[in-house]
Amino acid sequence: MILFPAIDLKDGKCVRLKLGDMATATVYNEDPAAQARAFEEQGFEWLHVVDLNGAFKGQSVNSAAVGAILKATKNPVQLGGGIRTLPQIEDWLARGLARVILGTVAVRDPELVKEACRLFPGKVAVGIDAKGGKVAVEGWAEASELGVIELAKKFEGAGVAAIIYTDIDRDGVLTGINWESTIELAEAVSIPVIASGGLASIADIVRMTMPDAKKLEGAISGRALYDGRIDPAEALAILRGEKPGPGLFEERA
Active site residues: 8, 129
Beta-carbon contacts of residue 97 (< 8 Å; ≥ 6 apart):
70, 77, 78, 79, 123
CA distance 98 to 223: 23
Beta-carbon contacts of residue 205 (< 8 Å; ≥ 6 apart):
3, 230, 234, 235, 238, 239, 245
Q: List, in sequence order, the alpha helices (H) in 123-226.
A: 148-153, 179-188, 202-208, 223-226
Nearest C-alpha neighbor of 17 from the set 223, 226, 227, 200: 223
Q: How far is CA 179 from the centre of its chain?
A: 15
Task: Work out the burial of residue 8: count CB atoms within 10 Å of its CB; fewer than 13 is exposed, 13-18 middle, 19 or more buried.
Answer: buried
The amino acid at residue 192 is: P
What burial letters (b/e) apply to 182-218, b meaning 16+ CB within 10 Å? bbebbeebebbbbbbbbbbbbbbbbbbbeeebeebbb
CA distance 163 to 185: 9
